[in-house]
Structure 1
Amino acid sequence: MSLSSHLQELKKKHRVLSDAVEEAQRSPGVDDLRVAQLKKQKLKLKEEITRLSPQTMH
């Protein structure tokens, strides 16, 4: 898998988790621990995306 396709896959997973977090926060039956777990997974993906993304020159 190329770096570009790997990044695209990570971004897709991040969007899915983002949607899941939003849905869980709107659902009164979902416990806070589940929301926290989803947010933690989302953050790990974001960190991985940032680490693998080409850095722009300033």
Structure 2
Amino acid sequence: MSLEDRVKTLQDKKNNLEQSLEVEERRPLPDNIAVHDLKRKKLALKDEIERLSHP
């Protein structure tokens, strides 16, 4: 897998987490633990994408 492919895959995962986060936050009673977990995972992916994009 090339570096570009890896970054694309990570970006796709980040986008999926963003969609899950939006769905969870729109619920009448969002699960705060789930929201926190999704945000943490999204930030980790963002950091990894940034690290790979700017070696």
**TM-score when normalising by structure 1:** 0.87
Which runs of 5 or more structure 1 residues have no equivalent in the other structure?
none
Counterpart position of 1:15: 15
Q: Which has the higher helix share?
A: 2
How big is the shift at 1:31?
A: 1.1
Q: Distance in 1 between matches of 2:52 and 2:28?
A: 36
Q: How far apart are the structure 2 equivalents of 1:28 and 1:3?
A: 40
TM-score by length of 2: 0.91
RMSD: 1.2
Q: CA deviation at 1:29?
A: 4.0
Aligned residues: 55
Q: Which runs of 5+ in 2 are unaligned?
A: none
Specify the structure having the higher radius of gyration (Cα). 1
